[in-house]
Chain A
Amino acid sequence: MKYFGGCDVGSTYTKCVILDEAGKMVSDVTIRSRINSEISAKEALDQAVAKVDGLSGIGDLAYLIGTGYGRNKVPQAQENISEISCHAMGVHVVDPTVKAIIDIGGQDVKGIAIDQDGTVLNFAMNDKCAAGTGRFFEAMARAFECTLDEFSELSLSAKNVIPITAQCTVFAESEVITLVGEGKPRDEIAAGIQQSVAKRCFVMAKKAGAKDHITLTGGCAKNKGLKAAIENVLRIKVTELPVDPQLMGALGAAEYARQKGMEQE
């Protein structure tokens, strides 16, 4: 049996997926990214490989593709592919009906439109500003003195939304601290935060050409409050993926690796 690997070295998390010849996911790993992309990739790959019987090291993978912010640093990778293509392919593999994606990563937001075969039709991205990214949520959770998981569910109980006017992460954080200090309901402030990010996503989704339904990928896709806010702002259904949405980039890379590895045969 041959195995194929995809390693998505993101700015905050490094993800690794291994597929077998039939395309079945046999191993996956998510670790916090280290300062050095190469070390992060090696660590994630080592852990993923260790979970598969019949693989003793990274070199045993028949084909390995790197993606994400540190894609050039994946050790022993045969090639690297942009995370936009990999997210598109990853989503296509798990749900071929999805035609538009909002990928909210640690340091950027992307809107991606895909074709019937998982090819990227168009994309739009914000990679210049931390507003609306995973970093933004980390800063907000810090302001609330809670974990990301707690923060993601906080807004679900809100009856009203207190709008956050600042676009910038730094200014938004001080605005939130002021609102908390004024004694405003925490869930309503959280709903305002989720809504401000949803509006950013709206722009990206529209630019990429989202129409009837979309899906979320990246770490922030696990944020339930954000999902609800996006459905509310975009007025389109957000499709839940059957696989961890944070793994889509690595899964797409592994699928590309599988296709290329099988072609080589």
Chain B
Amino acid sequence: MAYDPKTGKGLGDLYSAEHRCTKRREWKGLKDTLYDYGCWLRLLGMLGCKLGPVLPQFFRGLKRYRWLVSYITTPAFLDRHTIGLRGYELRYTHQQFYAVLQNSAGMIRDLLERDENLNPHSKKAAELRSKTVIFDEMMPIQIMNGFPTLKGIPIQMAPIFVVGEVDQQANIYYIDAIEHYGLASDVCPLPAAEAGCCVVDDYPKVGAAYVSSSMPCDGSVASTMYSNRYFKLPNYQITPPQRFNEPEVQEYAVKNLWGCVEFIEKQFNVKFDWDAFFEGVKRYNKESDYMIEKWDVNCTDYPQICGAALALHREYEMQIASSLDPKMCKYDAKVNKLMKKGYAHSVETDDKPRYRAIVWSCPAHYYSNFTYWAQNCWGIKTLVDMECMLAYHHYDEHDKKKVLVDMARGYERMTMRSHSNGGYVNALDECWKMCEKFNANIVFMYNHVSCKNFAGLQGLFEEQARERGIHLIWIEHDLMDPRTVSRKAMRDRVNRYMTTVFRAEPLDPTLVDYDDDLTW
């Protein structure tokens, strides 16, 4: 418990309205502070090792790319997600985030060492570029398991997607750039920022071919068309079926996916290596098993790996690392082993959460630690997040035809597609199923104000939640743009609901009202 009733000091006191960072690091007691500090040093060490070999490019990159500067705040990002945590939960969270961050650092290194803007005369960089395929986010980069001599890089991840979580201000510049260019300001800020990054020429030039997509909404389709013109690379478009629950669409999906394999084979004059691919599939299946174990534990009275540690990790593992990084599996094994110990400890001490919640709809990138705030302030434990409830079925590990069907099904259920596409049952009925499965009576219902996908279902959600006695707490946000709905405004929604409907007292009153508009 971070709040001290005697002094009235709590976690909210760490923030100040004038500063981007907290006043100081949190004191978590001797043992946990030492652990925390150790992890902080380990993170710095890892960043040093990963980025050391590309240090000259890194410094040139700081001048060239605005988004790269935000990554300097990565230790603060980790702090934000571990604030208020103690014991096993602190350890899980550190491990989960370390896995994500080491992969992200690797991705940034890959970008820096290949980038034509930073290495204009380097033969080595040119050679690396000639063996690199760039992917739109949420595309089946998993395919690259079958091309061990090539590299796949999800191109928007480092400049837009991940950095928006690291620094809430990071995407604003790109959103403004595309709006000054003429885009209406009510477009989803994610594709807007991605297109804005093209406008200001802030993408590294790293590939020789581009696999793009029709993502789940019109905004992203438009953004992809724009990116296509910007990258000027040979391009293949994967268009996962929207009504993916219908069996008839699978034949098309497989054909579309295999078309991508043939495109890469042709562009790079290499053959698809099925053995290497099946090795990746085995890793993916293992990663899914670890995830299911975590979910299963969270269904019990003693949930363990909750909030962003669960959600961001899964999202990242499937969408970006995509079984291409064997280290992810290694970290998963370690965390799940620790989770079993933590569970036994919770049972022994009867450490149950005060409130149980799930997160539904698309969460705010600029407030990825929102669930930890809810936990620290009100004792609401977030057991699962819609965005991490992606595909979790096993892929066939031997049959070439079957594995492609499995993979197509997997990518139809990718982030932002799995519940917002495919019919309303995926959004609506699935929500109640998850409430029942996780024994949660609170739903943090994110209302992304620039997204129309869920807007039509609001009335049905309200009505059905009432019938089921579930508390829907609607939380407006604007995905990547904190100027539309600030973090504070998001918290106010929960504060108002908790005091009015639950008549609850906060665990840490200093977290009810504080100013973090400027913080990373």
Contacts and interface: CB of A to CB of B under 8 A. Distances in A.
Interface of A: 81-82, 84-85, 119-124, 206-207, 209
A1 B487 CA distance: 47
Interface in B408-428: none
What secondary structure prevails in chain A residues at the interface with B? mixed
Contact of B462 (A119, A121, A209): A209
A120 B500 contact: yes
A122 B501 contact: yes
Interface string B472-499: 0010000000000000000000001001
A85 B462 CA distance: 20
A110 to B, nearest CB: 10
Contacts of A85: 499-500, 503
B499 A82 contact: yes
B116 to A, nearest CB: 45
A46 B462 CA distance: 43
Nearest to B466: A209
B459 interface: yes
Q: Which range contains the number of B residues in contact with the other chain?
A: 10 to 19
Contacts of B496: 82, 84
A209 B474 CA distance: 15
24 contacts: A82-B499, A82-B500, A84-B496, A84-B500, A85-B499, A85-B503, A119-B501, A119-B503, A120-B500, A120-B501, A121-B501, A122-B466, A122-B471, A122-B501, A123-B500, A123-B501, A124-B462, A124-B474, A206-B462, A207-B458, A207-B459, A209-B462, A209-B463, A209-B466
What secondary structure prevails in chain B residues at the interface with A? helix
Contacts of A82: 496, 499-500
Contacts of A120: 500-501
Contacts of B499: 81-82, 85
A123 B466 CA distance: 11
Contacts of A121: 501
Contact of A206 (B459, B500, B503): B459
Interface string B449-472: 000000000110011001000010
Contacts of A209: 462-463, 466
A84 B493 CA distance: 13
Nearest to B449: A128
A87 B66 CA distance: 49
A82 B466 CA distance: 22
Contacts of A123: 500-501
Contacts of A207: 458-459, 462
Contacts of A81: 499
Nearest to B474: A124
Nearest to B471: A122
Contacts of B462: 124, 206-207, 209
Nearest to A112: B500
A164 B471 CA distance: 35
With a 10 A CB-CB cut-off, give which of A85, A121, A122 has the most chain B CB atoms: A122
Nearest to B501: A120
Given A82-B499, A124-B474, A207-B459, 9 more contacts: A84-B496, A85-B499, A85-B503, A121-B501, A122-B466, A123-B500, A124-B462, A206-B459, A209-B462
Nearest to B461: A207
A84 to B, nearest CB: 5
Nearest to B485: A128
A82 B493 CA distance: 12
Contacts of A84: 496, 500
A207 B461 CA distance: 9
Interface string B497-519: 00111010000000000000000
A207 B501 CA distance: 15
